Amino acid sequence: MSGPRVVAIGGGHGTAVTLRAATRYTDRITAIVSVADDGGSSGRLRELLDVVALGDVRKCLVALADEDSPLAIAFARRFEEGELAGHALGNLILAGLVGATGDLVRGIDEAARLLGAVGRVLPATTEPVVLKADSSNGEVEGQVAVSRAGRIRSVSLVPQDASPPPSAIEAVLEADQVVIGPGSLYTSVIAAAAVPELARAIAATGAQRVFVCNLRPQIPETQGYDVGRHLSALEAHGIRVDQVLCDTSAGMALGTVGLPVTDTVLTDPAGRVHDPGRLAEALVGLLG
């Protein structure tokens, strides 16, 4: 297929949808994913094995694999009973591959090879990080706690000098299109894109930089936000974009946006989540 070089930045289900959209118009894809999660299976493995959070990496690998692949289906399978209850099999396999290879990026690449993934998934940082927020209720630490805080002024990572792998910076600088979002604004999107070296690369790239806004505010993290306020939060964290892609028919007000905006239907038939096909069509349209 080939096609434009596309980089998707964020985490979780939102970036997974972007990746499924990107596979419809290119096979030159790189996902750069937040590894700050401290809840659920990812949080437990962080404590036990001193690894970065692997859950969002797993979701993005599965999004780049064949939907009918038995291994991809197994990666998403979550145990319900016994000592493994709550763990996703893919998280355990990833942790095992990282341990076997002795390197985070090599372990993820090996998982991508096994899954037959189209493209590459890279962590936003190569070491475990803690997400910290300054909110109206004071300082909050940990992604789960931040997601429940509300009235967030800013977020940052500890340690502040945590770095992405060099291949992530190269991918951003060489991209034709950088897609930021959708996803939880502070705990997924900014948690990845505001890594200092990565934010500088986003500012320096010659790629088209697109922010895909959420369909509606996420309570309590972005309660009361419109599209413009999402964009202001990105700018306050040093994240620059050129285009805004949104769907205000789904419930998010537009607000004040000082950039070119494409406001179009992006939802699935049920109107609840982004539809990969519609998102792909809109992203291709922006590339012209």
What digits encode the pLDDT tens for the residues 157-187? 999 999 999 999 999 999 999 999 999 999 9
Q: Rounded to the nearest 5°, which phi and psi values hold at 117?
A: -65, 140
Q: Work out the average pLDDT over 273-283.
A: 96
Which are the contacts of 118, defined by CB distance < 8 A and separation ≥ 6?
Answer: 23, 27, 29, 64, 65
pLDDT above 90 as % of the chain: 69
Per-residue pLDDT of 51-107, as tens digits, reads: 788 889 999 999 999 888 898 898 888 776 666 666 778 888 898 999 999 999 999
Which residue ranges form the domains of the chain, and what is each CATH number?
A: 6-287 (3.40.50.10680)
The predicted pLDDT at position 270 comes to 83
pLDDT at residue 271 tops 90 = no
pTM recorded for the entire structure? 0.93
What residues contact 258, with CB distance under 8 A and at least 6 apart? none
Q: Is 34 helix (H, G, I), strand (E, B) or coil?
A: coil
Tokens encoding 196:
């200092």
Report pLDDT for 62. 94
Q: Return mean pLDDT, the chain.
A: 91
Q: What is the pLDDT of residues 180-227, one digit of tens each?
A: 999 999 999 999 998 999 999 999 999 999 999 999 999 999 999 999
55-64 and 40-49 helices, crossing angle to 10° = 120
- Of 172, 153, 143, residue with least CA distance to 32: 172
pLDDT of residue 193: 93
pLDDT value at position 85?
65
Per-residue pLDDT at 43: 56
User: Does residue 1 surpass a pLDDT of 80?
Assistant: no
Please, which pLDDT band fits residue 44 given cuts at 50, 70 and 90?
low
